[in-house]
Structure 1
Amino acid sequence: MKKSLVFAMAMALGVSATAFAANPFSDLPAGHWAYGAVAKLAAAGVVDGYPDGTFKGDKTMTRYEMAQIVAKALAKGAIGADDKLVSEFADELDNLGVRVAKLEKNADNVKITGNIRTHYAHSTGDFGKNSVSKTRSRLFFTGEVNDNWHYVGMLENNQTWNNDGKNDAGDNNTSFQRAFLTGNIGVVNLTAGRYNGTYAEGNVYDTRVDGVTANVKSGATYLGATWGKLANKDVFGDGANQAVGGEYVNAVLGGDIGNLNLEANYIHAKDLNTKQATNTVYTKGWVTGSDNIWTAAATYKAGDWTVGAMYLHGDADDKIDGVEPDHDGWVAKLGYKGAVASKAGSWGLFGKYYDQGGATYIAHTMNGDYTNFGPDGFKGWMVGGNLAVAKNMVAQVEYYDLKDKGSTSNHAKTLWSQMVVTF
């Protein structure tokens, strides 16, 4: 056996060639330069010699014999799955039944990823002017339970640099925002706990939920169902977390036909926190009620282009100052390419048009200022673009021009910009 190999194995185990250990091999004298290292490797189970009790250090090894040593070193943690020895003997290791990906996964049962987003938003219109700048940091912890199940937790910190001159001191808060199990039982994929729920592309709801969801995919068709509670968020943008609503159920059915995706959604939500009216001006407040929202959407991809449309209908059973909310809505979208975080220089453009009645949304995904409009809902448009300025660094800009669909015709314009760094 070459000195370099013995020394490499010994160093990986953190021992020197002179380390003391019992020698199990009859042909390796105590004065040999490799005595201590080989004895330590034998004690660790990395090398075990031949059936006759000899080591045969001067014998030329076969690739299969070397692969056995590499496999044992992997299993003992003496070398990592990214070691050059592993790639060199990949075929032999595969024949030995060593799955490097599995070994690598077991060596790191908890993975930490995250992102940092700094954004600036400036809104103007009939509700006045407001500017907000924040930095949001998120750390995701993914732990392996077994081959089928994982635990995911997310810790979030928000640093407010400015909120219309009210938070210039740099107020911040940190909270444990998500904690859920995800896995499968046969063909059924399950998620349970507190996680982010996005329904109807976020045109109905996009924030935290406490729930259990099950999804099944068969070919190009998928079916899903969820039961739970609409969790807390900063509903009105004033820094205070309130419950979005109470118990809810959701069902989704969709599928692909070539480049065309079709999807139908249904959500029933109880005890919603919506708006209340004071005279003719709609302000922040509470109204409890329930809503049933149905959506039907179609999205078509043609090369770098994406075009889509969605119809929404809600039948909220509550009236605000005797005014019944508008029950119908639709959204159209158009996109070209799109920034990919891992690909520096990639970019995209996108736009949407909204015409949504007050009964068709609960917690919208958009970054525009839609929360001050009345029960008739809002209409308007947005345009935006993004660019991966470097690997894992994406800049994005969005502009919204929205109007109240009711008699007030209130107007809100929002310029949103952000930089997201992922790691």
Structure 2
Amino acid sequence: MKKSLVFAMAMALGVSATAFAANPFSDLPAGHWAYGAVAKLAAAGVVDGYPDGTFKGDKTMTRYEMAQIVAKALAKGAIGADDKLVSEFADELDNLGVRVAKLEKNADAVKITGNIRTHYKHTTGDFGKTSESKTRSRLFFTGEVNDNWHYVGMLENNQTWNNDGKNDSGDNDTSFQRAYLTGNIGVVNMTAGRYQGTYSEGNVYDTRVDAVNANTKFGATYLGATWGKMANLDTFSSNYKKSKAGEFTQAVLGTDIGNLNLEANYIHAKDINTKWMTGTDNIWTAAANYKAGDWKIGAMYLHGDADDKVDVSDGKKQKFAEPDNDGWVATLAYKGATASKPGSWGLFGKYYDQGGATYIAHTMNGNYDAFGPDGFKGWMVGGNLTVAKNMVAQVEYYDLKSKGDFNGYKDGDHNKTLWSQLVVTF
């Protein structure tokens, strides 16, 4: 590394080559093109000469020597923490005791990350055959408010192609879908705004909420509560209007006992209007998950208490159906793909038996809402693989059935779904 890099740095700092300063080096003549810049840097304490009073501008520098100059420039305020030199010599600066991590934190007051997911979904069964392809792009903006609080926003674009003859050329939409603050007040961690709300492992609800959440830990035990409004449900009501839900409250209590996690959840949701349920629903869940090496096994019991029957009128006369209130889910998983580790992989499977009152917006990629208020039962299997760093492929297969006879649906009607996706993060 030539000393000319130091001259270039001096120019980048805005130090004039004609700036007047006393010459501290015997081998740097006053007529040299870099005389003023080097003299100014020396006067500021950014560069030092050799013990014999020379600068030796043609001598090759080591990375360590250059890092010393960068460290001094930082200390003097000659360059900022966001300068590329700080990133380039981060390891050497760390060895010199310079708080690079803190400097980088301050430099990156706003970070932009994102992911792109492309998926293909194919569904067959007693209700017909459909397929869908979609590419979803997300950009996350994280801004530092102070040491305790951050702002997070998310911009999402979706491009969808269906085989229904209506949008074979592809539908496109872009929207600002998340905006929230996250931080802590003492030992209480808080999130407020529009964010992703996932409750009871997604078996009850997994989509956006406009809410305030507070949670804290007491050793191995944790307690949390949420109040707000459910937003942007992804299913449709029986009258083909967008599903919606009103105010909701949620509470969770959990604890870890060695490799065993125990958790209880409660959700009280008002003004629900999904495909098979309207009114208010109270849902309780109790779950246990145990890890043994690379294996994870889990079980969950769910109970719903919907106060309204579902209007299933056929246009001739008004008919009502009572949603089924009980359900359970079993989970088994082995390992799992990690985006930062190419070649890592995992396998997983679930069995569902859920009544219509035990879910509002399920996390699964199967067509769980194709059945009536009695709910659904069935299984899924899947696997994932990190094909390259930050590139994870996943495949899932669902075989779901109706739990009851209702309005043309038969007990045991099938709905099979193949889901495949590739997620690239950056």
Asked if 1:87 is matched to 2:91, the reply is yes
Shift of 1:135: 0.9
Distance in 2 (alpha carbons) for counterparts of 1:48 and 1:354: 69
Distance in 2 (alpha carbons) for counterparts of 1:143 and 1:236: 35
Shift of 1:232: 0.9
Shift of 1:208: 0.5
Shift of 1:39: 4.3
Structure 1 residues 416 and 186: alpha-carbon distance in aligned structure 2, compared to 1, 3 A threshold: same
Shift of 1:185: 1.7
What secondary structure is seen at the aligned counterpart in 1 of 2:71? helix
Could you say which residue in structure 2 is the equivalent of 1:8? Answer: 5
Distance in 1 (alpha carbons) for counterparts of 2:237 and 2:86: 47
Asked if 1:413 is matched to 2:416, the reply is yes
Aligned residues: 399
Q: Deviation digits for residues 217-258 of structure 1, max 9, x if unmatched?
A: 2332221111111011332399x9835301111111112111
Shift of 1:58: 5.1
Could you say which residue in structure 2 is the equivalent of 1:284? Answer: none
Contact 2:23/2:30 (<8 A) preserved = no
Structure 1 residues 35 and 158: alpha-carbon distance in aligned structure 2, compared to 1, 3 A threshold: same
Could you say which residue in structure 2 is the equivalent of 1:177? Answer: 177
Runs of 5+ unmatched residues, structure 2: 57-63, 311-318
Could you say which residue in structure 2 is the equivalent of 1:383? Answer: 381
Q: Which amino acid aligns with 1:307?
A: I
Distance in 1 (alpha carbons) for counterparts of 2:297 and 2:15: 70
Shift of 1:165: 3.2
Q: 1:367 aligns with which of 362, 365, 368?
A: 365
Distance in 1 (alpha carbons) for counterparts of 2:365 and 2:175: 22
Q: Which amino acid aligns with 1:137?
A: S
Q: Which amino acid aligns with 1:312?
A: L
- TM-score after normalising by structure 2: 0.85
Shift of 1:259: 0.9
Could you say which residue in structure 2 is the equivalent of 1:293? Answer: 283
Asked if 1:153 is matched to 2:153, the reply is yes
Shift of 1:120: 1.0
Query: Where do residues 90-169 of structure 1 align in structure 2 (5 Å cutoff)?
Result: 90-92=94-96, 94=97, 98-169=98-169
Contact 1:208/1:231 (<8 A) preserved = yes
Q: Which amino acid aligns with 1:82?
A: S
Shift of 1:145: 1.6
Distance in 1 (alpha carbons) for counterparts of 2:111 and 2:13: 32
Structure 1 residues 16 and 347: alpha-carbon distance in aligned structure 2, compared to 1, 3 A threshold: closer
Contact 2:237/2:275 (<8 A) preserved = no
Could you say which residue in structure 2 is the equivalent of 1:316? Answer: 306
Structure 1 residues 20 and 357: alpha-carbon distance in aligned structure 2, compared to 1, 3 A threshold: same
Q: 1:396 aligns with which of 394, 397, 401?
A: 394
Q: Which amino acid aligns with 2:296?
A: T
Contact 1:236/1:371 (<8 A) preserved = no
What secondary structure is seen at the aligned counterpart in 1 of 2:197? strand
Distance in 2 (alpha carbons) for counterparts of 1:411 and 1:42: 79
What secondary structure is seen at the aligned counterpart in 1 of 2:73? helix
What secondary structure is seen at the aligned counterpart in 2 of 1:73? helix
Shift of 1:161: 2.2
Distance in 1 (alpha carbons) for counterparts of 2:256 and 2:144: 32
Distance in 2 (alpha carbons) for counterparts of 1:362 and 1:274: 7
Could you say which residue in structure 2 is the equivalent of 1:283? Answer: none
Q: CA RMSD in A?
A: 3.2
Query: Where do residues 181-260 of structure 1 align in structure 2 (5 Å cutoff)?
Result: 181-236=181-236, 242-260=242-260
Contact 2:237/2:243 (<8 A) preserved = no
Q: Deviation digits for residues 329-363 of structure 1, max 9, x if unmatched?
A: 10000011111111111111111000111111000
Shift of 1:8: 2.6
Structure 1 residues 16 and 108: alpha-carbon distance in aligned structure 2, compared to 1, 3 A threshold: closer
Distance in 1 (alpha carbons) for counterparts of 2:162 and 2:320: 38
Query: Where do residues 66-85 of structure 1 align in structure 2 (5 Å cutoff)?
Result: 69-74=69-74, 75=77, 76-77=79-80, 79-84=84-89
Q: Deviation digits for residues 244-297 of structure 1, max 9, x if unmatched?
A: 301111111112111111111111111111235xxxxxxxxxx53111111110
What secondary structure is seen at the aligned counterpart in 1 of 2:111? strand
Distance in 2 (alpha carbons) for counterparts of 1:4 and 1:419: 45
Q: 2:346 aligns with which of 348, 359, 364?
A: 348
Distance in 1 (alpha carbons) for counterparts of 2:171 and 2:272: 29
Which stretch shifts more, 116-125 or 363-372? 116-125
Q: Which amino acid aligns with 2:19?
A: A
Distance in 1 (alpha carbons) for counterparts of 2:178 and 2:341: 28
Could you say which residue in structure 2 is the equivalent of 1:329? Answer: 327
Q: Deviation digits for residues 106-154 of structure 1, max 9, x if unmatched?
A: 2222211111111111112222111111111111111112222111111
Distance in 2 (alpha carbons) for counterparts of 1:11 and 1:181: 42
Distance in 2 (alpha carbons) for counterparts of 1:200 and 1:169: 37
Distance in 1 (alpha carbons) for counterparts of 2:160 and 2:246: 29
